[in-house]
């Protein structure tokens, strides 16, 4: 559906029916992966919205992802050397704006989310610089750098998949966060509105509001299409599509990794936090293999407990008779 705020006087570029548009080709080839990750992220976001420590870990992970992408964007824009790097640089200059930069926005959110842990900017910076990334997150960051260094045109894969995902879902996530203020630390001097605003920079592309964000989105899509239609060979476009397909797998894996690491840590010490986390996982993973495995484990534990209780009472009764 056309957005009335930005398309009433102009034609959408690229048109949804334009089969030659690189963006449309990426969308077509990643449609199944897109649907899968949407469902998966919806489940994980529902859990994260109930557990501030998980939400914070997710924001931290994507800080490193976008920082890696934007390091490569800056390198291509300002220090391109080879012919392929200069080509990618020329394309980026036609659609990239500083409004799109996410790493600095995520950093603002981390300052709030970690404010009770790191009291100064210096301590937070040291944490970010020395944080040992989980294995799959580290592999994704390395893969971003490796792909773009090897084939600079693949920067366009990340620009399409990850930034447009935020344009599409940012408003929805912000509205959910307004209802989940418990995710953020408490500050006596901040109103609820100020608190959420300071903690949702990742999903905000303009301080001027939704209308300006919509305009930026359509400008991004239009200029991306105009810049990529004739400047790339077919082989380069196929490579961009291939890398874009892999991005969905990486997103799935790093979010799943966060869940698995939390599960292991919480299971190692029985607590109310552990019980509530497991319950949320169980409730929001209906029909999944993990839920079936969890249910089987619970039934097994209950069965063993019942056997021991039965054995205890039989033994006590037997001894009392003797």
**55 vs 246: which has the higher pLDDT:** 246
- The confidence band for 307, taking pLDDT boundaries of 50, 70 and 90, is low
Does the pLDDT value for residue 164 go beyond 60? yes
Distance CA 225, CA 95 (A): 9
Name the more confident of 304 and 286.
304
**How crowded is the C-beta side of 72, counted as CA atoms within 13 Å?**
26
* Cβ proximity of 154 and 87 under 8 Å: no
Asked if the model's pLDDT at residue 106 lies above 90, the reply is yes
Residues 6 or more apart whose Cβ sits within 8 Å of residue 41: 251, 255
Mean pLDDT on 59-70? 96
Which pLDDT band holds residue 37 (cuts at 50, 70, 90)? Answer: low
> What's the CA gap between 31 and 33, in Å, rounded?
5
Q: CA-to-CA distance for 303 and 295, rounded, in angstroms? A: 12
pLDDT band at 187 (very low <50, low <70, confident <90, very high): low
Identify the residue with better confidence: 201 or 314.
201
Q: What is the pLDDT of residue 103?
A: 97
Residues 53-63 pLDDT 10s: 778 888 999 99
pLDDT surpasses 60 at 40: no
What was the pLDDT predicted at 179? 62
pLDDT at 79 over 50: yes
Q: Is-contact 282 50, C-beta < 8 A?
A: no
Q: What is the 3-state secondary structure (H, E, C) of 110-167?
A: HHHHCCCCCCCHHHHHHHHHHCCCCHHHHHHHHHHHHHHHHCHHHHHHHHHHHHHHHH
Contact by Cβ (8 Å): 84, 153: yes
Name the average pLDDT for the chain. Answer: 79
What pLDDT is recorded for position 142?
Answer: 98
More confident site: 54 or 80: 80
Check whether 271 has a pLDDT greater than 90: no
Cβ atoms of residues 220 and 161 within 8 Å: no
Q: How many CA atoms lie within 13 Å of 288's alpha carbon, on the beta-carbon side?
A: 13
C-alpha distance from residue 253 to each of 142, 175, 247 (Å): 14, 26, 10
Q: What is the pLDDT of residue 8?
A: 41
If pLDDT is split at 50, 70 and 90, which confidence band does 1 have? very low
- Helix axes 155-178 and 83-95, enclosed angle (nearest 10): 30
């Amino acid at each position: 559906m056309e957005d009335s705020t930005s398309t009433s006087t102009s034609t959408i570029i690229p048109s949804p029916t334009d089969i030659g548009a690189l963006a449309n080709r990426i969308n077509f080839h990643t449609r199944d992966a897109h649907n899968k990750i949407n469902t998966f992220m919806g489940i994980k976001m529902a859990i994260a919205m109930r557990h501030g420590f998980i939400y914070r870990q997710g924001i931290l992970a994507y800080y490193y992802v976008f920082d890696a992408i934007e390091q490569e964007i800056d390198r291509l824009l300002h220090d391109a050397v080879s012919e392929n790097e200069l080509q990618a640089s020329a394309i980026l200059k036609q659609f990239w704006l500083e409004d799109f930069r996410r790493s600095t926005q995520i950093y603002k959110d981390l300052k709030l989310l970690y404010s009770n842990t790191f009291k100064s900017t210096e301590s937070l910076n040291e944490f970010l610089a020395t944080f040992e990334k989980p294995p799959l997150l580290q592999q994704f960051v390395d893969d971003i750098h490796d792909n773009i260094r090897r084939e600079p045109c693949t920067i366009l894969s990340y620009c399409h998949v990850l930034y447009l995902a935020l344009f599409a879902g940012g408003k929805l996530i912000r509205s959910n966060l307004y209802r989940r203020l418990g995710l953020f630390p408490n500050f006596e001097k901040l109103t609820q509105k100020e608190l959420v605003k300071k903690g949702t920079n990742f999903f905000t592309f303009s301080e001027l509001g939704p209308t300006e964000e919509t305009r930026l989105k359509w400008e991004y899509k239009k200029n991306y299409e105009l810049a990529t239609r004739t400047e790339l060979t077919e082989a380069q476009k196929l490579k961009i599509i291939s890398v874009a397909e892999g991005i969905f797998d990486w997103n799935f894996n790093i979010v799943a990794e966060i869940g698995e690491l939390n599960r292991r840590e919480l299971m190692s010490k029985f607590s109310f936090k552990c019980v509530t986390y497991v319950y949320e996982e169980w409730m929001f993973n209906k029909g999944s293999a993990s839920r079936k495995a969890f249910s089987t484990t619970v039934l097994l534990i209950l069965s063993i407990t019942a056997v021991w209780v039965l054995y205890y009472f039989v033994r006590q009764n037997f001894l009392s008779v003797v």
